[in-house]
Amino acid sequence: MKRRRPVASAAKARSPARADKLALGQLHKHLGYFLRRLQIWVFQDFIQTLGKMKVRPAQYSVLLIIEANPGRSQAAIGQTLGIERARLARLLHELERRKWINRRASGSDARSHCLHLTADGEKALVRIKSVATQHEARLADYVGAKRHMQLMDLLRDFG
């Protein structure tokens, strides 16, 4: 099996060759441990890939959800992504500061806001998605194309 490392060498220490490893003992029975290890690889690669644009994974997720569901509320987005209210508020504030999104007061409820991408946000997201696609290809290469597809099938119900 290929043991490709994330894009930058900073992540080196987290992807040791199997030969250097100790026995996992009972850890070998815990799915959460293996989920976490692969997820760390993914985040490292993703953060390094999108670091140039100063976009974090959670920001990217929120931009995609707003793109796919223009005009929806902060609450609906938070519920979809499982992001807590205070954290999402900070995240949206940052995206607004960069002029990538705007909030318009909802007609039905003055306290609620509809979220939209701005023209700048749409332009930025085109570039971000293109880099994210490269990241996904690296991940598919790391785990193998077939396993990538199988994992997707098995995990999609939980997102």
Helix (H, G, I), strand (E, B) or coil at 114: strand
The number of C-alpha atoms within 13 Å of 159 and in the hemisphere containing its C-beta is: 8
| Cα gap 114→69, rounded to integer Å | 10
In whole angstroms, the minimum distance from the beta carbon of 96 to a copy of itself comes to: 19
Q: By C-beta, is 29 or 52 nearer to a copy of itself?
A: 29
Q: By C-beta, is 57 or 94 nearer to a copy of itself?
A: 57
**What does 66-78 look like in DSSP terms, one character per residue?**
HHHSTTEEHHHHH
In whole angstroms, the minimum distance from the beta carbon of 37 to a copy of itself comes to: 5
| Cα gap 38→43, rounded to integer Å | 9
In whole angstroms, the minimum distance from the beta carbon of 82 to a copy of itself comes to: 4
Q: By C-beta, is 61 or 102 nearer to a copy of itself?
A: 61
Which of 89, 114, 94, 93 has the alpha carbon at shortest distance from 104? 114
Which of 45, 67, 34, 58 has the alpha carbon at shortest distance from 133? 45
In whole angstroms, the minimum distance from the beta carbon of 12 to a copy of itself comes to: 10
Residues that bind a copy of itself (CB under 8 A): 1, 13-16, 20-43, 46, 57, 61, 64-65, 67-69, 72, 76-80, 82, 84, 129, 132, 136, 139-140, 143, 147-148, 150-152, 154-159
Q: By C-beta, is 80 or 102 nearer to a copy of itself?
A: 80
